[in-house]
Structure 1
Amino acid sequence: MVTAVPVLQPAQGPAPRLRRPDAARLRDLRGQREFQYEADVTEPEQSAWDAFWARVRDAIGNWLISRSYNHFWRWVFYALFVGAGVFIVLRLLEIDFTAMLGRSPRRAALAYDTMAENIHEVDFATRLAEAEAAGNWRLAVRLGYLQLLKTLADGGLINWQPDKTNHAYLAELPATGALRTSFREATRQFEYVWYGELALTPSLYAQVRAGYQALRTQLGRPYSSTSR
């Protein structure tokens, strides 16, 4: 069964009358700023600094799309990034890069076993004279520092033990006074030379030796290769 669709009849009666807005009201609305929809096309004034960076950005942008960058410099930057990444990984893994290239750090020759010396058994006068005569300044600095430790131990200022650190001896000295300051400086110089393998010249060794001499004089024991 098909339902018939009703036919809509046109509205009967007179046509609607359009109401026009009041002319005075329209003029008032046009004068209000809130209803001014014209776009402000005035560009803000650019400072010299902004203009400089704008030129830099434009130059970099033009360079990045240039033929030379796409055919050469881009691969140079890739290689640098890869090299930097490999270097960082090697450093994090604590891998000796010089050893990988077949090179070993230069180490000064030592005249005797330095791992088990007893400062109360070392003949410092003879050892220092031999090291200085041979120009082995690094060994001479170590012997001079051990001689300082012996002087401090003989004076009862530190309790020397083979397994104690240099900074443990520093902590045993009086907290105030020039002695602790002088020994701290002597320790710093020794560690730079011995553990840092700082290359010494005769003039640099003379400066370190002078510092040791001043400290031993302060302790009443002059420093020299002929003193015990």
Structure 2
Amino acid sequence: MISSVFKCLAFTLLLISVGPCLHAQVNRADTTSVTAPLDASGIVQRAPASNRLNYFRNDRNYSYRNDPPPPENPVAKFWYWFQRKLSEFLQSSAYENFWQYVILATIGGLAIWLLYKSEFLGGFLGRKAQEDPLAYNRITENIHELDFNKLIEEAIENRNYRLAVRMYYLKSLKQLTDKQLIHWQPTKTNRIYVDELGNSRLKADFERLTSQFEYVWYGEFSVSESEFSVLKEEFSTFSGKI
């Protein structure tokens, strides 16, 4: 019984030691070498179209050693020349040592000048923004120094009805100022005076007269005698309400 057990153990050990060798020999026996046949077919050479090849030859993005020829178009040729000169200038020692500082100082000075002219720095520099003296609806005359009755009569005698309408309007401003209904200043516009009347009963009438005055005076429309008679009556009625 014991001898049979020893025989089994010995056989197992033999299989363990000899098995891998037998497996390798079997694999080597199954391996065969195959020689591939030679490809004797002809080689077909392919080349890009000539126009496509010239496109890439002239493309500056593919130029690594030599510059491509300049374009034939006169404008493109000038732009090509300008770019080359600018590139040479920016890479020169004169630009690096001197001209870049001059250009930067010029750009900075121009920017400051533009900001100053646009009054962006007006408050910072203490410069008060000036009123536009050419505003179309701003009264420039000093209404406290004018003899309106005399000026109106002279304008009517000369048949200058546009000027007469203007004098009637200025006279209305003078009357409203005297009654302290508005505060007259030469820098104010006509619409500011309308707003200053607030909820006054005179606001609607004065706003209508202001529109008519601006239409006649700033619109440079001629006024006939009959049209002036209507406007004169409206100004007189308004004057009586103040």
If the length of structure 1 is used for normalisation, what is the TM-score? Answer: 0.45
Instruction: Give the greater-gyration-radius structure (CA).
Output: 2
